[in-house]
Amino acid sequence: MSIEIKVNGRKHSVNTSPETSLLTVLRDHLGLTGSKYGCGEGECGACTVLVNGYSRRSCIMKVGDLHGQPVTTIEGLEQEGKLHPVQQAFLEAEAFQCAYCTVGMIMTTVAMLNAMPNPTDEQAIEFLNGNICRCGTYPRILRAVHLAAERMPKGEAR
Amino acid sequence: MSERKQPEEMRTVEAIEPERYEAFAPPSYHFDLERRDFLKVVGGGIGVFLVMGEPAAALAQESGRPQFRFRMPPLPKNVGAWLHIAPNGAVTVFTGKVEVGQNIRTSLAQQVAEELKVAVDAISMVMGDTARTPFDMGTFGSRTTPTMGPQLRRVGATAREILIGLAAERWNADKKTLVAENGAVRDPATGKTLGYGELATGQTLAKTIISTDPLEPPADWTVAGKPLAKVGAVEFVTGRHRYPSDIVVPGLHYGKVLRPAAFGATLETLDASAAKAMPGVTVVHDGNFVGVVAPTLEEAEKALGLLKATWKTAPQISNAELFAYLKQNVLPESEAEEDRLRHETGSVESGMADAPKKFEATYTVEYIAHAPLEPRAAVAVWQGGKVTAWTGTQRPFAVRDALADTFHLAKDDARVLMPDMGSGYGGKHTPECAIEAARLSRGAGKPVKLIWTREEEFTWAYFRPAGVIDVRAGLGADGKLVAWEMHNYNSGPSAVMTPYDVPNQRISFHPTKYPLRQGSYRALAATANHFARESAMSELAHMAGADQLEFRLKHLSDERLKAVFLAAAKKFGWPRAKTAPGQGFGIGGGIEKGGRVAACAEVAVDEKSGEVKVTHVVVAFECGAIVNQDGLNNQVSGAQVMGLGGALFEAIEFADGKILNPMFSKYRVPRFKDLPEIEVVLVDRVDRPPAGAGETPICGLAPAIANAIFDATGTRLRAMPLAPHGLKKADPTPPAPRAAAEPA
């Protein structure tokens, strides 16, 4: 059947079952491979996207449960060719090694800063604890979070 | 700057035979011809080819007897890498090494840039493509920096000398007076400048180097030795980088493999009728191999679920019997001879007999998983009887060979490409996913993508070997070790030797039968052997009434190791006075793969809950001259985080041929909340050649934590993971020392 979804400001019609995971729709139907498969049970955060501005695990969210809510993926963060402040901060803090977790970390951080513009280390750790980095770059990710928090335009949730 | 040899005679290419890519890859080929072909294929310019002059025996990483043994043949005298300068000035380096997050795409480019005198971002690295890069054993064993790094520097230096020579010819100048800088050759006397592209235009120059041209000593490095951002980093923060699992080709279909009910199970019955009835679905069945191919991932998943199979299984051992099994199943002397390690100095018996204090203990390590965040993935395409596979692997050429073997192809009819992947940590040496994708693709007649699920990755990959390590030691009246005996069962011989001065030693690695598929890991057995030895050293220090650090220094004549122990201790403030209940401090370190590491750990043990929290880690590391400071810092820090998991809570649970915790909700890996304060001290020895850094830094942490827990609580934990459920429920049956440590 055909399902309508809105991703990064664009409407798409996808021919699949409502039971299909949002991750599969994004990656394999829409070609948005920035979001990653890591566990399939919402435990690692590699597939994190924003649904209505909140971070969601797209691997365990059924596409049929979106009910028209807009989805933002990493591909939708850049504006007019300019990196989002969180992307820029991860870049500058070199907050990755293999970087497979990076997209999920960035999306989770965007959601966090939307809700909490200036998180403490403790708050950031709490918020990001569901995201796994097997290369162990957590200290750098925390640095990137603070760097991004300093630079994010305030009161401008995206 | 050091004096350089005159470049070898340069040869101009005449005979041209296009499209002979295939000849570049395999070992033992007729080099001259391909070299010329290469320049034709790439459209002229300048090529510098590095011929491996020495059989690099050191390449054979101690492999812990994985099922896939790496029978390392001595390297043939073949090309190890090459560099091309195109008429448009583009510099491309071809190497069979792969980027898995260890940052060699950047650090290798940095070393070429250093010699060639170009900006790092002017260099493209073509890596791990069996049709375009020279043969390479694989990216493991911390060999890239010590071997490929210097080799590429030589290649870069040679290219620079060729360019200077060309400019000298052009200007009729003495080449000694010319300088290479910023991608151009300049004559300081006349101010004339020629870009590398201009110099390469109209050329078909190929040069071979074998010898060890003198290199710029590390102290003179201008580009290498500095922090440098990851090459192409913007591709990663934007999600544009295509990992193996992101590869898409026209007409792509999706595959799924039906996994047996248990290890070693054989297929009894299969009813595939419901799956076959799905439109567009192909069922591929060949012996025990059953898989499905469908136009979409969700249809493939559905088809897989519709397969009805019964399997014949056999009872197998579980965690409870693991360590007894390993001890009881030592391979007979006639088997696995090459894997054994026996070292004997003096007489342990007489040393022990004379020792007033004797020590004996057994340490164990469980099976653990690499759990790279990107599971195994492959995209396979057949065309005209040839197969191409994109896959995540640390050994693209081994995967190519395996594909050729499996499908009875000539090696050149299988091509493997390795896009920078979601890491491996020694866990992606094997070819299974690419073979499965290729099987499905051939069976269905479609290009197929296969991504292993997390459960498959946890179950059907391989594990870091479990092991039992027995230690016996004698302490003299002067508080110094007189005898040291250590026996490792199954986990491997890496770093089993002690760096400490003991007159009487017996050290052995005993290969055994083992119940789970096992293989390489970050530093492999060095983690287990360091855990046992460094725990024992602190136990012995305690027995001697000495400080953990002082006791070690008293037995050390390796100045480099001493230096890292002292550097870590200084930063940590060793010895520290306790300021809170449940607080403890420990130290551990050693030598592995040419590097020296020492770690100090502080733990806080909650007296009520038994929860163990590592609060502070200082790690000092020395691997010779530092190539990329920031990249190295990242590796060393990351190794502490990863090491924390194996030290405290990671363990594969298994029974009857099944993995019982094959998911992140059941297999705990380090998360943000586990993060201690980590301080990295890098000791830069510009007087020494660089050694690899991906592995060794992981070795010191586990024993440092075990020693800190003892310091905090008086409880000695000898099993890794140390405290999977906190201290109170640490382990229902902690492996007790075989004999109490008591004075004779």
Residues 379-418 of B with CB under 8 A from A: none
Phi then psi dihedrals of residue B179, to 5 deg: -125, 140
State the smallest CA–CA distance between residue B422 and chain A in angstroms: 5
- Is the residue at A138 inside a domain? yes
Q: Is the pLDDT of residue B143 over 80?
A: no
The residue with tokens 């640390």 is B394
Q: Are B238 and A77 an interchain contact pair (Cβ–Cβ within 8 Å)?
A: yes
Chain B CB within 8 Å of residue A123 CB: no
Instruction: Specify the pLDDT at position A61.
Output: 98
In angstroms, rounded to a whole number, what is the distance separating the alpha carbons of residues B441 and B528?
A: 41
- Is the residue at B458 inside a domain? no
Q: What is the CATH number of the domain that holds A60?
A: 3.10.20.30
Chain A CB within 8 Å of residue B236 CB: yes
A34 lies in the same domain as A94? no
Of A75, A94, A121, which marks where a domain is finished? A75
> Which sign, positive or negative, has the C-alpha torsion B258, B403, B395, A24?
negative
Q: What is the mean pLDDT of chain A?
A: 96
Pairing of strands B414-417, B386-391: parallel
- Is the residue at B740 inside a domain? no
- Is the residue at B4 inside a domain? no
Region A80-104: mean pLDDT is 96
Of A42, A75, A108, which marks where a domain is finished? A75
pLDDT for B193-212, tens place per residue? 999 999 999 888 878 776 44
Of B234, B298, B672, nearest to A91 by CB-CB distance is B234
Beta-bridged to residue B587, according to DSSP, are B600
3-state SS class at B360 = strand
- Is the residue at B3 inside a domain? no
A17 lies in the same domain as A49? yes
Phi then psi dihedrals of residue B164, to 5 deg: -65, -40
Chain A residue nearest residue B420, CA to CA:
A98
DSSP states along B400-430: HHHHHHHTT--GGGEEEE----S--TT----
Phi then psi dihedrals of residue B547, to 5 deg: -70, 145
Q: Are B241 and A98 an interchain contact pair (Cβ–Cβ within 8 Å)?
A: no
B541 lies in the same domain as B658? yes
Assign 3-class secondary structure to B48-67.
EEEECCCCCHHHCCCCCCCC
Of A22, A48, A75, which marks where a domain is finished? A75
Assign 3-class secondary structure to B115-166.
HHCCCHHHEEEEECECCCCCCCCCCCCCCHHHHHHHHHHHHHHHHHHHHHHH
In angstroms, rounded to a whole number, what is the distance separating the alpha carbons of residues B221 and B451?
A: 43
A114 lies in the same domain as A71? no
- Is the residue at A156 inside a domain? no
Pairing of strands B45-51, B79-85: antiparallel
**Residue B485 belongs to domain spanning:** 329-368+463-720
- Is the residue at A157 inside a domain? no
In angstroms, rounded to a whole number, what is the distance separating the alpha carbons of residues B180 and B393?
A: 38
Of residues B160, B157, B206, B209, the one with CA closest to residue B52? B209
A131 lies in the same domain as A91? yes
Chain B CB within 8 Å of residue A96 CB: yes
Instruction: Specify the pLDDT at position B127.
Output: 94
- Is the residue at B735 inside a domain? no
Region A26-35: mean pLDDT is 98
User: What single-letter amino acid sits at B287?
Assistant: G
In angstroms, rounded to a whole number, what is the distance separating the alpha carbons of residues B369 and B461?
A: 8
Q: What is the CATH number of the domain that holds B129?
A: 3.30.365.10
B87 lies in the same domain as B64? yes
Region B251-267: mean pLDDT is 97
A59 lies in the same domain as A121? no
Q: Which of A30-39, B48-57, B512-521, B638-647 has the lowest mean pLDDT?
A: B48-57
Instruction: Specify the pLDDT at position B72.
Output: 30
Q: What is the CATH number of the domain that holds A126?
A: 1.10.150.120
Q: Is the pLDDT of residue B17 over 50?
A: no
Chain A CB within 8 Å of residue B242 CB: yes
Residues 412-431 of B with CB under 8 A from A: 420-423, 425
Instruction: Specify the pLDDT at position B21.
Output: 23
- Is the residue at B2 inside a domain? no
What distances in angstroms separate CA B460 from CA B55, B216, B465, B516, one per listed residue? 34, 46, 15, 10
B305 lies in the same domain as B203? no
State the smallest CA–CA distance between residue B451 and chain A in angstroms: 9
A101 lies in the same domain as A137? yes
pLDDT for B302-350, tens place per residue? 999 999 999 999 999 999 999 999 999 999 887 766 667 889 999 999 9
B334 lies in the same domain as B387? no
Of B431, B451, B471, which marks where a domain is finished? B451
A57 lies in the same domain as A96? no
State the smallest CA–CA distance between residue A149 and chain B in angstroms: 17
Instruction: Flag whether the ipTM exceeds 0.85.
Output: yes
pLDDT for B28-87, tens place per residue? 222 333 444 556 666 788 888 877 654 333 333 333 333 332 233 333 345 677 899 999
Residues 49-88 of A with CB under 8 A from B: 73-75, 77-78, 83, 87-88
State the smallest CA–CA distance between residue B265 and chain A in angstroms: 25
Chain B residue nearest residue A100, CA to CA:
B422
Q: Which of B40-44, B99-103, B155-159, B252-256 has the lowest mean pLDDT?
A: B40-44
B447 lies in the same domain as B560? no
Instruction: Specify the pLDDT at position B413.
Output: 96
Region B566-570: mean pLDDT is 98
- Is the residue at A125 inside a domain? yes
Contacts of B670 in chain A (CB under 8 A): 136, 138
Instruction: Specify the pLDDT at position A10.
Output: 97
Of residues B620, B612, B607, B666, the one with CA closest to residue B644? B612
Portion of chain B with pLDDT greater than 70, in percent: 86
Q: Give 3-state DSSP helix, strand, coil % of chain B, rounded to 5.
A: 30, 25, 45
A70 lies in the same domain as A115? no
- Check residues B530 and B155 and name the one with the higher pLDDT: B530
Q: Are A136 and B641 an interchain contact pair (Cβ–Cβ within 8 Å)?
A: yes
Instruction: Specify the pLDDT at position B3.
Output: 35
Q: Which of B206-210, B260-264, B483-487 has the lowest mean pLDDT?
A: B206-210
Long-range contacts of A22-25 (CB under 8 A, 24+ apart): A22/A49, A22/A56, A22/A58, A22/A59, A22/A61, A22/A62, A22/A63, A22/A66, A22/A71, A23/A47, A23/A58, A23/A59, A23/A61, A24/A63, A24/B296, A24/B297, A24/B298, A25/A63
What total number of domains does chain B contain? 3
User: What single-letter amino acid sits at B433?
Assistant: C
In angstroms, rounded to a whole number, what is the distance separating the alpha carbons of residues B319 and B299?
A: 37
Chain A residue nearest residue B664, CA to CA:
A43
The residue with tokens 């560099």 is B83
- Is the residue at B33 inside a domain? yes
- Check residues B521 and B4 and name the one with the higher pLDDT: B521
- Residue pairs between chains A and B whose CB atoms are closer than 8 Å: 173
B341 lies in the same domain as B396? no
Instruction: Specify the pLDDT at position B691.
Output: 86
- Is the residue at B742 inside a domain? no
Of B233, B242, B678, nearest to A91 by CB-CB distance is B233
What total number of domains does chain A contain? 2
B248 lies in the same domain as B233? no
B405 lies in the same domain as B532? no
Confidence of residue B524 (pLDDT cuts 50, 70, 90): confident
**Residue A137 belongs to domain spanning:** 85-151
User: What single-letter amino acid sits at B675?
Assistant: L
Chain A CB within 8 Å of residue B639 CB: yes
- Is the residue at A80 inside a domain? no
Q: Which of B116-120, B182-186, B370-374, B734-738 has the lowest mean pLDDT?
A: B734-738
Contacts of A46 in chain B (CB under 8 A): 373
Of B218, B237, B256, which marks where a domain is finished? B237
Instruction: Specify the pLDDT at position B38.
Output: 59
In angstroms, rounded to a whole number, what is the distance separating the alpha carbons of residues B657 and A73?
A: 40
Region B142-170: mean pLDDT is 87
A64 lies in the same domain as A101? no
Q: What is the mean pLDDT of chain B?
A: 87
